[in-house]
């Protein structure tokens, strides 16, 4: 019987090898693996990523790596022969292999009654959606940190407004990767108060806010990274509290939706904005009938 762990002692992390085999870029598989592993406490994967695996010879090398570092094999292979080669190789090695997209693809196929595409990398085709994402990224960069006139901002899908260090820029970049044209305008004490955004008709204006304590911490870390002097209102608790309160009041006065990013990741903030855009679109469609 193993001795009881002393109170307060931390359980040692469990490491394991995970082999991610993709015939495309591997982005989908990597994201899925991270999402699943995050559900387990104290588990740390050692990732082996094999992208653009499209030949039997390449797959032989993958199986050699699996044999050298036994672990779980996840794949998104489309080609039937390559799948069979991988499945047979894993059986010989007595290693579990999982077609990561198989359950969802199978369910959709049954529901739609449609045949499956065997085209490799179909999700990365140079189609309208792809070029739309590139255009959205260009737009986000060109309209970052208050750049652009009010007329130019009219072509945005969403404009984010908030005080300094409320994750406006990374959120815009993340939204751009989903094809959403996002701009951001900072609220600078004594200068910009978002007034030029009031007259906007097309874009959704969203206010981003954060707790003063968290904002001071973020700003101090920013200054430390720049080796800058901390002696300013930029990190003064009272000044920061006044700045955030003034921003929130401005948002509420103008009827803009507000998202508190204090405990949100960029992905969560972006998801909340996508929901707001969807609700707005649904409302407009409803009132157009």
Asked if 23 and 52 count as a contact pair (C-beta separation under 8 A), the reply is yes
Interatomic CA distance for residues 271 and 142, integer angstroms: 22
As given in the structure block, the two tokens for residue 53 are 């695996």
Cα 271 → chain centroid: 9
**143: helix, coil or strand?**
coil
Question: Is 54 assigned a ligand-binding role in the annotation?
Answer: no
Question: Is 168 assigned a ligand-binding role in the annotation?
Answer: yes
Cα 109 → chain centroid: 27
Question: Is 119 assigned a ligand-binding role in the annotation?
Answer: no
Question: Is 269 assigned a ligand-binding role in the annotation?
Answer: no
Q: Which residues contact 129 (CB under 8 A, 6 or more apart)?
A: 179
Q: Which residues contact 111 (CB under 8 A, 6 or more apart)?
A: none
As given in the structure block, the two tokens for residue 16 are 């394991």
Question: Is 109 assigned a ligand-binding role in the annotation?
Answer: no
Q: Number of helices (H) and strands (E), helices first, in the chain?
A: 10, 8
Residue linked to tokens 């509290």: 241
Residue linked to tokens 């894993």: 90
Asked if 24 and 79 count as a contact pair (C-beta separation under 8 A), the reply is no
Interatomic CA distance for residues 114 and 148, integer angstroms: 46
Question: Is 165 assigned a ligand-binding role in the annotation?
Answer: yes
Question: Distances in Å between the alpha carbon of 16 and those of 21, 34, 48, 194, 244?
Answer: 16, 13, 11, 50, 45
Asked if 110 and 102 count as a contact pair (C-beta separation under 8 A), the reply is no
- Binding site for ADP: residue ranges? 162-169
- Binding site: residue ranges? 162-169
């Amino acid at each position: 019987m193993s001795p009881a762990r002393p109170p307060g002692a931390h359980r040692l992390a469990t490491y394991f090898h995970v082999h991610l085999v993709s015939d495309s870029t591997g982005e989908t598989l990597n994201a899925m693996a991270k999402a699943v592993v995050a559900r387990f406490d104290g588990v740390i994967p050692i990732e082996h990523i094999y992208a653009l695996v499209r030949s039997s010879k390449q797959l032989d090398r993958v199986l050699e790596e699996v044999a050298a570092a036994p672990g779980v094999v996840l794949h998104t292979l489309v080609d039937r022969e390559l799948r069979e080669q991988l499945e047979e190789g894993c059986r010989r090695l007595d290693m579990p292999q999982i077609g990561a997209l198989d359950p969802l693809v199978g369910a959709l196929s049954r529901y739609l009654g449609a045949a499956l595409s065997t085209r490799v990398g179909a999700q990365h085709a140079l189609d309208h959606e792809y070029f739309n994402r590139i255009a959205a990224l260009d737009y986000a960069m060109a309209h970052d940190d208050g750049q652009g006139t009010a007329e130019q901002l009219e072509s945005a899908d969403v404009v984010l407004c908030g005080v300094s260090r409320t994750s406006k820029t990374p959120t815009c970049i993340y939204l751009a990767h989903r094809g959403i044209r996002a701009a951001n305008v900072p609220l600078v004490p004594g200068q910009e108060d978002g007034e030029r955004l009031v007259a906007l008709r097309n874009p959704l204006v969203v206010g981003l806010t954060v707790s003063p304590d968290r904002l001071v911490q973020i700003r101090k870390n920013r200054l430390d990274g720049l080796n800058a002097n901390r002696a300013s209102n930029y990190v003064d608790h009272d000044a920061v509290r006044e700045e955030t309160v003034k921003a929130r009041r401005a948002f509420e006065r103008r009827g803009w939706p507000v998202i508190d990013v204090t405990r949100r990741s960029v992905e969560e903030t972006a998801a909340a904005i996508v929901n707001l855009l969807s609700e707005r679109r649904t409302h407009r469609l409803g009132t157009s009938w």
